Structures are given as structure tokens and as C-alpha cells.
Amino acid sequence: MQLQPIDKRSGLTPEEFREQYLLPARPVVFRDLAADWPATQKWTFEYLKQNYGHLKVPLFGNDFHDAGKGYMSPKVHMPFAEYLDLIQAGPTELRMFLYNIFQHAPELVDDVRMPTIMPGFVKEYPFMFFGGQGAVVKLHYDIDCSSVFLTQFQTRKRVTLFAPDQSRFLYQHPFTVQSHVDVLNPDYKKYPAFKKAVGWDTVLEHGETIFIPSTFWHFIQYVDGGFSIALRANDSVFSRLRGVSNIVRHFVVDKGMNKLLGPRWKHWKEEKAAERAMA
């Protein structure tokens, strides 16, 4: 595996962004895209606990993708304030995602400004992500094929990206947008083709925003316990259609076969991923 650093830029105009990053599908970190958001100053751990700590939130563990009845299901539910205390205290595998906090606290939307760096931002689906120190988001690309603008708050997060043309080296599981390769400690005996993968890597600081191009694979590690928000943009009809196709394959085929076959379905996906990687 070879990784190169991601550019960090300030003052990018929409025209510069389009020519240098959007059209060539190249990631970039904006130092100042969220500089005028109230959220960058307002959203602290204490503020969230005091105002929204009563919410009961779903939390997911490292067994999120394990075959069986718990496949892609929450491991536990917990009051939000208790969870924020937990991730501030030290390492934990528990992460919070697939939960739209804005449905329960719509006023938080006013603390975020929709960027004007490109057209096509989807206002209805901003999502927040929380995790403890050392927690990881396994290698995947976003199922709806949107471009993603991920802004980090308070602490640090490491982001590793791979372009779509690297998919075969990443051992993509068929009918999913997932890979089970551990980017931090790759098992080259099990995944020898991963040695050929070429990608990008950076550490996001408070207030920085990373642009993840459509269908780019990403692996995320929480350097510290913290949180971020993802805004999505889509200016391509082709990407939207591909996203619909992904959703159908995932929720109908993959989840259906997991329900029927359990671990045997996972084993079949692993075999097919290995065959493709070595072809």
C-alpha cells in the first residue's frame, strides 16, 4: 500500500475547486470551508450534553458487519450525555452513526451553513458521526454515491482514501460497498493484492473539512474521541442512479442473503473478493 498526503487549502474559489479537485476527482482538505459556521465555536461536548444529553441514541460496535441476526444492527442504546462522557474518557469501540440527530434537535441545523463551493448539496440529510479514541470506520464507499464534505469538531480524525479504480485491490465484497481489509494493520498473507493499492491519507483537525469524491473508498480512525458532520452533494444524474442501484443490491440482495445463509453468505463474498483481487 502506498499513501500520499492530501492537499490542505485555504481560500479556494468554486472555479479553482471545480478545476483542481471536483472534475479530476481528487480529494482536498479545506481549512476554512466551515470557518463562518456557528457550530465550529458552539458545538462542544458540554454544550451537546447540557442541551441534548437526554436523547437515547443507538451505538454500534466492531461486530457491525458480522454475519447473523445482529448484522448492521445497534449493539446498545444509551443516553447521549452518557455516551459523550464515555468517548471523552478514553478508548471505546462504540460509535454513533445512522442516527439523524437533526430530526430530534432541528435547531442545530441553523448552526451549519450550506457551502457554495459546488452545486447540488442535499439539505435534507446531514448526518453526524461520533466515536471514541481508537474507534475505526471500516473501509467502504458511501452507498448513495454522493460527494461528501466531512467537517471535524474539537478533536482529530485520520482519513485514508482510495479511488474507485483501486476496488479490486481492496477486496470489495460483492453486492456491498464494503471491504474488510484493516488499513492500519493489513494482513498481506490474506490480502496480498492490497500491497498494490495506492491512496491518500490525512489527519483532520478541528474546523477542517475533507472533500471525499463520489464513490471514493474511505477508512477512518478516531485519533481522539470526537465527532464530525457530513454534508452530501450530487450534481450527476449517473451518480444518483448508481446510488439507487447500490441501495437495492444492499438492502434486498445482501441483507436478504445474510438472513438466509448467515456466515455462509459472508464466506462466499470473501471468496469472490479474493478471486477478483488476484485476477
Share of the chain above pLDDT 90, in %: 62
- Let me know: does 133 contact 90? Beta carbons within 8 Å: yes
The pLDDT of residue 246: 61
The pLDDT of residue 274: 87
The pLDDT of residue 176: 84
Which has the minimum average pLDDT: 37-46, 200-209, 240-249, 255-264?
240-249
Q: Average pLDDT, stretch 246-253?
A: 64
Q: Average pLDDT, stretch 162-177?
A: 91
Residues 6+ apart with CB under 8 A from 153: 39, 40, 43, 206, 207, 226, 227, 228, 229
The pLDDT of residue 2: 95
Confidence class for position 145, pLDDT limits 50, 70, 90: confident
The pLDDT of residue 142: 87
Residues 6+ apart with CB under 8 A from 87: 94, 130, 131, 132, 133, 225, 226
Q: What is the DSSP string of 143-179?
A: TT--EEEEEEESS-EEEEEE-GGGGGGGTBPTTSSBB
Q: Is the pLDDT of residue 73 over 70?
A: no
Which has the minimum average pLDDT: 37-41, 257-261, 272-276?
257-261
Q: Is the pLDDT of residue 71 over 60?
A: no
**57 burial level (CB within 10 Å; 0-12, 13-18, 19+):** buried
The pLDDT of residue 264: 83
Q: Could you tell me the CA-to-CA distances from 3 to 84, 213, 220 in Å, in that order?
A: 32, 17, 14
The pLDDT of residue 269: 84
Q: Is the pLDDT of residue 173 over 70?
A: yes
Q: Is the pLDDT of residue 181 over 90?
A: yes
Q: Is the pLDDT of residue 98 over 90?
A: no
Q: Cα–Cα distance between 123 and 48 in angstroms, integer?
A: 22
Triad 31, 117, 141: Cα angle to 5°: 80
Identify the CA nearest to 117 among candidates 32, 201, 240: 32
The pLDDT of residue 276: 86
Which has the minimum average pLDDT: 43-57, 154-168, 228-242?
228-242
Structural domain of 58: 2-277
Sign of CA dihedral 221, 222, 224, 229: positive
Residue 72's CATH number: 2.60.120.650
Which of the two residues, 73 and 89, has the higher pLDDT score?
Answer: 89
Confidence class for position 242, pLDDT limits 50, 70, 90: low
Q: Total structural domains in the chain? A: 1
The pLDDT of residue 259: 73
pLDDT digits (tens, 9 = 90+) for 6-36: 999 999 999 999 999 999 999 999 999 999 9
Q: Is the pLDDT of residue 65 over 60?
A: no
Highest mean pLDDT: which range of 131-145, 225-239, 253-267 = 131-145
* Whole-structure pTM value: 0.87
